[in-house]
Protein backbone atom coordinates (compact mmCIF):
# COMPACT_ATOMS: atom_id res chain seq x y z
CA UNK A 1 0.00 0.00 0.00
CA UNK A 2 1.34 3.45 -0.91
CA UNK A 3 2.13 5.88 1.94
CA UNK A 4 -0.47 8.65 1.95
CA UNK A 5 2.19 11.11 3.19
CA UNK A 6 4.47 10.44 0.28
CA UNK A 7 5.35 13.56 -1.74
CA UNK A 8 4.07 13.33 -5.33
CA UNK A 9 6.80 12.73 -7.86
CA UNK A 10 8.12 15.89 -9.57
CA UNK A 11 7.11 18.37 -6.83
CA UNK A 12 9.83 20.15 -4.84
CA UNK A 13 9.63 21.00 -1.16
CA UNK A 14 12.49 23.58 -1.36
CA UNK A 15 12.09 27.34 -0.96
CA UNK A 16 11.56 29.21 -4.20
CA UNK A 17 14.68 31.03 -5.50
CA UNK A 18 12.56 34.18 -5.77
CA UNK A 19 11.77 34.03 -2.07
CA UNK A 20 15.45 33.54 -1.21
CA UNK A 21 16.42 36.55 -3.33
CA UNK A 22 13.73 38.65 -1.66
CA UNK A 23 15.02 37.71 1.80
CA UNK A 24 18.61 38.54 0.83
CA UNK A 25 17.51 41.93 -0.53
CA UNK A 26 15.68 42.78 2.69
CA UNK A 27 18.74 41.84 4.78
CA UNK A 28 21.06 43.98 2.63
CA UNK A 29 18.75 47.00 2.82
CA UNK A 30 18.50 46.66 6.60
CA UNK A 31 22.29 46.38 6.92
CA UNK A 32 22.85 49.47 4.77
CA UNK A 33 20.33 51.44 6.81
CA UNK A 34 22.10 50.45 10.01
CA UNK A 35 25.49 51.56 8.71
CA UNK A 36 24.04 54.88 7.55
CA UNK A 37 22.52 55.47 10.97
CA UNK A 38 25.84 54.87 12.70
CA UNK A 39 28.08 56.86 10.37
CA UNK A 40 25.91 59.62 8.96
CA UNK A 41 25.58 60.37 5.28
CA UNK A 42 22.84 62.99 5.36
CA UNK A 43 23.62 65.97 7.52
CA UNK A 44 20.90 67.45 9.67
CA UNK A 45 21.38 70.65 11.60
CA UNK A 46 19.39 71.92 14.52
CA UNK A 47 18.92 75.47 15.73
CA UNK A 48 17.03 74.06 18.72
CA UNK A 49 19.90 72.19 20.37
CA UNK A 50 18.15 72.62 23.73
CA UNK A 51 15.15 70.74 22.44
CA UNK A 52 17.37 67.81 21.48
CA UNK A 53 17.95 67.25 25.18
CA UNK A 54 21.47 66.72 26.49
CA UNK A 55 21.82 63.46 28.35
CA UNK A 56 23.35 65.37 31.28
CA UNK A 57 20.15 67.32 31.84
CA UNK A 58 17.07 66.21 33.74
CA UNK A 59 14.29 64.81 31.58
CA UNK A 60 12.15 67.82 32.47
CA UNK A 61 14.58 70.44 31.18
CA UNK A 62 15.43 68.33 28.14
CA UNK A 63 11.78 67.93 27.17
CA UNK A 64 10.84 71.57 27.62
CA UNK A 65 13.88 73.09 25.95
CA UNK A 66 12.82 76.40 27.44
CA UNK A 67 15.63 77.01 29.90
CA UNK A 68 18.27 79.47 28.78
CA UNK A 69 20.96 77.33 30.39
CA UNK A 70 19.83 74.23 28.50
CA UNK A 71 21.63 75.44 25.35
CA UNK A 72 24.91 75.65 27.22
CA UNK A 73 27.42 73.03 26.13
CA UNK A 74 27.94 70.55 28.97
CA UNK A 75 31.35 71.10 30.53
CA UNK A 76 33.32 67.88 30.31
CA UNK A 77 36.82 66.72 31.13
CA UNK A 78 38.85 66.18 27.98
CA UNK A 79 41.60 63.54 28.01
CA UNK A 80 44.08 64.68 25.39
CA UNK A 81 46.15 62.26 23.33
CA UNK A 82 49.36 63.61 24.92
CA UNK A 83 48.15 62.41 28.33
CA UNK A 84 47.11 65.78 29.72
CA UNK A 85 43.64 66.84 30.78
CA UNK A 86 41.60 69.99 30.43
CA UNK A 87 38.00 71.15 30.65
CA UNK A 88 35.91 72.13 27.66
CA UNK A 89 35.19 75.37 29.52
CA UNK A 90 38.89 76.26 29.22
CA UNK A 91 38.05 77.28 25.66
CA UNK A 92 35.65 80.04 26.77
CA UNK A 93 36.48 83.20 24.87
CA UNK A 94 36.87 81.27 21.61
CA UNK A 95 34.40 79.83 19.15
CA UNK A 96 34.77 76.05 19.25
CA UNK A 97 34.00 73.31 16.74
CA UNK A 98 33.46 70.16 18.79
CA UNK A 99 33.33 67.08 16.58
CA UNK A 100 32.83 63.42 17.54
CA UNK A 101 34.55 60.92 15.24
CA UNK A 102 36.32 57.56 14.83
CA UNK A 103 38.94 56.23 12.44
CA UNK A 104 36.44 53.70 11.04
CA UNK A 105 33.95 56.46 10.11
CA UNK A 106 34.61 57.70 6.55
CA UNK A 107 32.10 60.55 6.83
CA UNK A 108 33.91 61.82 9.92
CA UNK A 109 37.22 61.86 8.09
CA UNK A 110 35.71 63.58 5.05
CA UNK A 111 34.66 66.50 7.26
CA UNK A 112 38.14 67.13 8.63
CA UNK A 113 39.53 69.20 5.71
CA UNK A 114 36.48 71.48 5.99
CA UNK A 115 37.00 71.88 9.73
CA UNK A 116 40.69 72.60 9.18
CA UNK A 117 39.87 75.24 6.57
CA UNK A 118 37.39 76.90 8.92
CA UNK A 119 40.11 77.31 11.56
CA UNK A 120 42.29 78.99 8.93
CA UNK A 121 39.59 81.25 7.52
CA UNK A 122 38.15 82.36 10.87
CA UNK A 123 40.69 83.61 13.37
CA UNK A 124 40.37 82.29 16.90
CA UNK A 125 38.26 79.24 16.10
CA UNK A 126 39.41 76.11 17.93
CA UNK A 127 38.66 72.62 16.63
CA UNK A 128 38.33 69.88 19.24
CA UNK A 129 38.07 66.38 17.80
CA UNK A 130 36.77 63.75 20.21
CA UNK A 131 37.59 60.19 19.21
CA UNK A 132 34.89 57.76 20.27
CA UNK A 133 35.94 54.44 21.77
CA UNK A 134 39.41 53.92 20.28
CA UNK A 135 42.77 53.76 22.07
CA UNK A 136 45.65 56.22 22.00
CA UNK A 137 47.78 54.15 19.62
CA UNK A 138 45.02 54.05 17.01
CA UNK A 139 44.46 57.79 17.19
CA UNK A 140 48.18 58.57 17.17
CA UNK A 141 48.64 56.51 14.00
CA UNK A 142 45.82 58.46 12.38
CA UNK A 143 47.32 61.78 13.51
CA UNK A 144 50.69 60.86 12.03
CA UNK A 145 49.09 60.35 8.63
CA UNK A 146 46.72 63.33 8.91
CA UNK A 147 48.57 66.30 10.45
CA UNK A 148 45.60 68.58 11.18
CA UNK A 149 45.86 71.43 13.68
CA UNK A 150 43.21 70.05 16.00
CA UNK A 151 42.98 69.44 19.71
CA UNK A 152 42.78 65.64 19.76
CA UNK A 153 40.76 64.03 22.56
CA UNK A 154 40.38 60.40 23.61
CA UNK A 155 36.98 59.19 24.76
CA UNK A 156 37.57 55.46 25.21
CA UNK A 157 34.71 55.02 27.68
CA UNK A 158 32.34 57.37 25.79
CA UNK A 159 32.08 59.68 28.82
CA UNK A 160 32.27 62.82 26.68
CA UNK A 161 29.97 61.55 23.96
CA UNK A 162 27.36 60.48 26.52
CA UNK A 163 27.12 64.09 27.73
CA UNK A 164 25.73 65.15 24.34
CA UNK A 165 22.53 64.11 22.49
CA UNK A 166 24.28 62.22 19.72
CA UNK A 167 23.01 58.86 18.49
CA UNK A 168 25.78 58.44 15.93
CA UNK A 169 28.82 60.03 14.30
CA UNK A 170 29.87 62.33 12.81
CA UNK A 171 28.24 64.69 15.27
CA UNK A 172 29.57 68.24 15.24
CA UNK A 173 28.68 71.28 17.31
CA UNK A 174 29.59 74.94 16.94
CA UNK A 175 29.89 76.58 20.36
CA UNK A 176 30.16 80.34 20.88
CA UNK A 177 32.67 82.17 23.10
CA UNK A 178 30.23 82.08 26.04
CA UNK A 179 29.96 78.29 25.86
CA UNK A 180 26.53 78.07 24.23
CA UNK A 181 25.71 75.66 21.42
CA UNK A 182 24.86 77.67 18.30
CA UNK A 183 24.34 74.76 15.93
CA UNK A 184 24.55 70.97 16.02
CA UNK A 185 25.10 68.86 12.91
CA UNK A 186 24.25 65.17 12.81
CA UNK A 187 25.79 63.28 9.90
CA UNK A 188 27.50 64.68 6.82
CA UNK A 189 26.80 65.18 3.13
CA UNK A 190 28.59 64.47 -0.12
CA UNK A 191 28.85 68.12 -1.14
CA UNK A 192 30.91 68.89 1.96
CA UNK A 193 30.22 70.72 5.20
CA UNK A 194 32.31 73.87 4.83
CA UNK A 195 29.43 76.24 4.05
CA UNK A 196 27.33 74.84 6.89
CA UNK A 197 30.16 75.13 9.40
CA UNK A 198 31.08 78.61 8.16
CA UNK A 199 27.52 79.89 8.53
CA UNK A 200 27.35 78.51 12.07
CA UNK A 201 30.72 80.02 13.00
CA UNK A 202 29.68 83.42 11.67
CA UNK A 203 26.49 83.20 13.71
CA UNK A 204 28.53 82.29 16.79
CA UNK A 205 30.75 85.34 16.27
CA UNK A 206 27.86 87.82 16.24
CATH code (residue 138): 3.40.30.10
Q: Are strands 151-155 and 85-87 parallel, antiparallel or unpaired?
A: unpaired
Predicted local distance difference test score (pLDDT) of residue 51: 37
Predicted local distance difference test score (pLDDT) of residue 87: 98
H or E, element range at 87: strand 85-87
DSSP 1-19: ---TTPPPTT---SPPHHH
Q: How far apart are CA 186 and CA 40, in angstroms?
A: 7
In a domain, 12, yes or no: no
In a domain, 99, yes or no: yes
In a domain, 81, yes or no: yes
Q: How far apart are CA 154 and CA 145, in angstroms?
A: 17
For 107, other C-beta atoms within 10 Å of its C-beta total 22
pTM: 0.71
Q: What is the pLDDT along the chain (206 residues), one digit of tens a residue?
A: 444 455 444 444 566 666 666 666 555 545 544 444 444 555 555 544 543 333 222 222 222 222 233 489 999 999 999 999 999 999 999 999 999 999 999 999 999 999 999 999 999 999 999 999 999 999 999 999 999 999 999 999 999 999 998 889 999 999 999 999 999 999 988 899 999 999 999 999 99
Structural domain boundaries, residue 41: 34-204
In a domain, 192, yes or no: yes
Q: How far apart are CA 100 and CA 183, in angstroms?
A: 14
In a domain, 119, yes or no: yes
Closest CA to 151 of 127, 119, 177, 122: 127
φ/ψ (deg, to 5) at 12 = -100, 140
In a domain, 88, yes or no: yes
In a domain, 22, yes or no: no
The region that residue 98 occupies, defined by phi over 0 for left and psi between -120 and 50 for alpha, beta otherwise, is beta
Predicted local distance difference test score (pLDDT) of residue 56: 26
Closest CA to 97 of 43, 23, 150: 150
Q: How far apart are CA 27 and CA 180, in angstroms?
A: 42
Predicted local distance difference test score (pLDDT) of residue 116: 98
Amino acid sequence: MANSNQIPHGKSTGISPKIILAIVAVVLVAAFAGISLLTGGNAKDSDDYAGMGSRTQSSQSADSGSSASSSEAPDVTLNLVDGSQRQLSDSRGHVVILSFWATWCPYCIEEMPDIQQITKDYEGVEAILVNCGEDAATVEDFMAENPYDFTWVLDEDYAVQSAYPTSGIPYTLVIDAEGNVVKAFSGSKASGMYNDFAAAVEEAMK
